[in-house]
């Protein structure tokens, strides 16, 4: 029985990956700062509490588990929040990843590692679409921290002959996304509109209701992203560790959608006109926005045999339905 260690196991990707691996008869250990695993997973996962930014915590976890595969998902994952906490972001995402790679080198060099990298690496690039050879041009502290982690993964792979693959993941969503992600905010806003909720019970980053006086505040509605379905991306990460040699792969749908189209899709599913419920607030516009990031996942298609399975529209509709169900349970 293969044994996998998942850092950041309680996040969206970690939960999907846990269920995915358990169905494949893996033994699963998790590394997290808190014990917030769903009850149905409590008995199936060996959970180790620790902080990825603490070198001894991650080293101890690797020594205790000695896994066959490591999925490194733990990170400070909010590009917007990284402007307020740039040093903390670098510590968690950059040095935390370095600590993990070095612990693998010292204690478990046969482990196969998949590092969850990010399309934010491309930032202000002028090349579109982006593939594995597109130069990095980070445009926020989060992206810079992920670029450091990505490059250190390559350095440790080449210098110490470790199996470290970087998954350059474009945006990927699901009904498990936390509310601080814009896709989930929009699904939540559409659900509030559907249910006639004028002041939402959940708060945004400023400590204000996400929906106030029936309105949802967003940033630049012309921002366009390549959004895919999280379980598809988890499958891609697993495929990466089944290859003979480690490598880096861009994972994305190759389809671009704007925030406005996302709003149209979500609110239309709720039977509402998005323009009556959504407005652009300068407070939510990032200081330096990434250019249009669009995945060229040709390499993943060719080598991994990977392709996305769910359409953007169905994914957003499912997210709205999940938020309607959640709000009705309040």
What the block records as the tokens of 313 is: 């529209």
Q: How confident is the model at residue 328 (pLDDT cuts 50, 70, 90)?
A: very high
Q: Are 167 and 240 in contact (CB under 8 A)?
A: yes
pLDDT, tens digit, for every residue of 218-263?
Answer: 999 999 999 999 999 999 999 999 999 999 999 999 999 999 999 9
Confirm whether 3-173+229-251 and 182-224+256-294+310-328 share one CATH topology: no
Does the pLDDT value for residue 82 go beyond 90? no
Gap between the Cα atoms of 191 and 124, Å rounded: 34
pLDDT, tens digit, for every residue of 196-206?
Answer: 999 999 998 88
Does the pLDDT value for residue 8 go beyond 90? yes
Of the CATH numbers 3.40.50.2000, 3.40.50.720, 3.20.10.10, 3.90.1150.10, which one belongs to the domain with range 3-173+229-251? 3.40.50.720
Distances (CA, A) of 130 to 137, 184, 252, 256, 295: 12, 25, 10, 12, 5
Q: How confident is the model at residue 288 (pLDDT cuts 50, 70, 90)?
A: low
Q: Are 54 and 101 in contact (CB under 8 A)?
A: no
Q: Which sequence spans correspond to the domains of the chain?
A: 3-173+229-251, 182-224+256-294+310-328
What is the second-level CATH architecture of the domain 182-224+256-294+310-328?
Alpha-Beta Complex (3.90)
């Amino acid at each position: 029985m293969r044994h996998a260690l998942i850092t950041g196991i309680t996040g969206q990707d970690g939960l999907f990956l846990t269920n995915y691996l358990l169905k494949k008869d893996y033994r699963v250990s998790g590394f997290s700062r808190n014990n917030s695993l769903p009850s149905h997973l409590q008995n199936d996962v060996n959970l180790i509490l620790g902080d990825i930014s603490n070198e001894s915590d991650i080293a101890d976890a690797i020594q205790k588990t000695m896994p066959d595969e490591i999925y490194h998902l733990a990170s400070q994952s909010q590009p917007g929040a990284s402007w307020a906490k740039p040093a903390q972001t670098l510590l968690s995402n950059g040095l935390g990843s370095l600590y993990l790679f070095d612990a693998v080198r010292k204690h478990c060099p046969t482990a196969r590692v998949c590092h969850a990298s990010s399309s934010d690496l491309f930032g202000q690039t002028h090349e579109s679409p982006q593939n594995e050879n597109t130069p990095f041009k980070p445009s926020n502290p989060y992206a810079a921290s992920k670029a450091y982690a990505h490059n250190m993964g390559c350095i440790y792979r080449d210098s110490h002959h470790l199996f470290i693959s970087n998954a350059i993941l474009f945006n990927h969503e699901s009904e498990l996304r936390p509310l601080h992600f814009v896709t989930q905010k929009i699904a939540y806003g559409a659900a509030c509109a559907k249910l006639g909720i004028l002041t939402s019970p959940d708060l945004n980053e400023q400590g204000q209701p996400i929906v106030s006086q029936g309105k949802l505040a967003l940033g630049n509605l012309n921002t366009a992203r390549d959004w895919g379905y999280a379980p598809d991306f988890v499958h891609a990460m697993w495929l990466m560790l089944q290859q003979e040699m480690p490598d880096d792969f861009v994972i994305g749908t190759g389809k671009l959608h704007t925030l406005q189209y996302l709003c149209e899709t979500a609110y239309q599913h709720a039977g509402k006109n998005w323009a009556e419920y959504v407005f652009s607030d300068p407070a939510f516009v990032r200081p330096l926005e990434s250019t249009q990031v669009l995945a060229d996942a040709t390499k993943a298609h060719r080598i991994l045999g990977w392709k996305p399975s769910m359409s953007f529209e169905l994914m957003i509709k499912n997210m709205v339905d999940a938020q309607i169900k959640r709000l009705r349970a309040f």
